[in-house]
Structure 1
Amino acid sequence: MANVVQQSLIEQLRPVISDERIGTYLTAAGFDPDRALRLYIWNALVGEAFHLPVQSVEVALRNRVNRHLVELFGQQWWQNDTFLRLAGRKRATDIETALRRIRNRGAVLDTGQIVATLSFGFWSSLLQKRYNPALWGGRLHAAFPDLPPNQTRATLSQRVKRVADFRNRVWHHEPILKMDLLAEYSAIMELLNWLCPIKAGWVRPHCRVATLMRQKP
């Protein structure tokens, strides 16, 4: 009887969830409608639990990179012609978009607002090979003092991209139940440790990913 009720609920939810998305959970649940619905809620909750470690990485990364850019190009690096030429058209467009958004909300136009408004994609892109050595040659470990000696700009960039890709999947409410979430969590926390081990140690006790993993239906 319970499954009949849950199947009826699934049919009522199809117009607002979509056949494809609900089908993902039905398949994962062996077509048990009750488990499918519990998996759907669990997927949302575990995605929510990733918010703390991911935003911790994002904020730490943008502040590390911002400090480095300030040292190279001055406090208003986002207006510096040398930086803008180096950054290229796409990154300059990102900055123009950020400036427009700041003006539209009537906020003070300063570096703090620029840093907060630019996307994770902007910050992660600055670690790409094309910006080496101009940004990072001989300066990587000064900019990231807690990065282990055996890690390079390439490995840091790859890890940031992995976290950014996972973040985008979670932030766009995609199913993550088939992924190795403990591996993703470990990768995120290791990156946070590279960015600032003090912050990693502070955040870790408050992360609920492992607890929710044990509660998977």
Structure 2
Amino acid sequence: MDQPEAQRLHRLLSQARLPEYEAFCGGDRVAALRLFCWNTEVAAAFYGPLQHLELVLRSVLDQRMFQLFGRDDWWDHPGVDLHYGAVAKIREAVHQLGRQGLAPTPSEVVAELPFGFWVSLIGRGNNYDQRLWRTTLYQAFPGYRGGRHALHRKLDFLRVLRNKIAHHAPIYHRHLNADHEAIMAMLGFIDAPLADLVARYSPVPAVLARRPRLP
């Protein structure tokens, strides 16, 4: 990429993002755009591992909540007592399904609920530690030997990474090797063979090795 191309791309791309890259690169627009492009590449590389984590977390937590409350629509059980934010996410999921012309069946609602909803079930909530974690949710992580609070902190950190990627935000400044290792560790807590499979095919390490050098 040369200076004329950098100038043209600079005019086309969002001014809301590029100044941060330029500041990081000492005002060098060519270096900033190379870093911008690499940020896009590494964000795309993280998509697969994060997708596996989101899908398996949703699956195992849904299964545990079904076991605890004995119904597919466990969120409507009188004893579930979800906190306000979780209830709001369920209402939004049902609303979105209606807008799409889909029936809000339990399986459709589960598929519509965002990653943050599932992470929140490991949080403090309305006495979640005693009612949900110690009763059943800990069984969703057979490879984990720590407390609920530490696990929730790890998951929430990955939720932030996932949301930054979804909103096209910069992630180049994060410790991305550690992020990748955290995803694999979390997958391992749930299912070690799945973690091995995802690690084997993850493009993240190769993309991290191609990070552009700053001037």
TM-score normalised by L of structure 1: 0.88
- Decide which of 116, 129, 133 is 1:132's aligned counterpart: 129
1:103 matched to 2:98: yes
1:87 and 2:82 matched: yes
Q: Distance in 1 between matches of 2:22 and 2:83?
A: 46
How far off is 1:106 after superposition? 2.6
Matches within 5 A, 1:11-90: 11-13=10-12, 16-18=13-15, 20-73=16-69, 74-83=71-80, 86-90=81-85
Counterpart in 2 of 1:189? 184
1:180 paired residue number: 175
- Mapped to 2, the partners of 1:10 and 1:105 lie a distance apart of 37
Give the conservation status (yes or no) of the 8 Å contact 1:10–1:33. Answer: no
Q: Contact 1:61 / 1:123 at 8 angstroms: preserved in 2?
A: yes
Structure 2: gaps (5+ residues): none
Partners of 1:207 and 1:186 lie apart in 2 by 11
Question: How far apart are the structure 1 equivalents of 2:63 and 2:208?
Answer: 36
Whether the 8 Å CA contact 2:50–2:183 is kept in 1: the answer is: yes
Q: Is the 8 A contact 2:62 2:110 kept in 1?
A: yes
> For residues 75 and 10 of structure 1, do their structure 2 counterparts lie closer, same or farther at Cα, with a shift above 3 Å needed?
closer
Relative to its length, the structure with more helix (as a share) is: 1
Contact (CA 8 Å) 1:6, 1:33: kept in 2 or not?
no
State the Cα distance separating 1:176 from its structure 2 match.
1.2
Please tell me whether residue 156 in structure 1 is matched to residue 156 in structure 2.
no
Q: Deviations over 1:108-149 (max 9, x none)?
A: 4322211110111111111112311011125344232232x2
Gaps of 5+ in 1: none
In the aligned structure 2, how far is the partner of 1:213 from the partner of 1:192? 20
Q: Distance in 2 between matches of 1:24 and 1:156?
A: 32
Residue 145 of structure 2 corresponds to residue 144 of structure 1? no
Shift of 1:31: 2.7
Note the alpha carbon deviations across 1:31-54, whole angstroms, 9 max, x for none: 332222111111001001000111
Percentage identity across paired residues of the two chains: 29
Q: How many pairs align?
A: 209
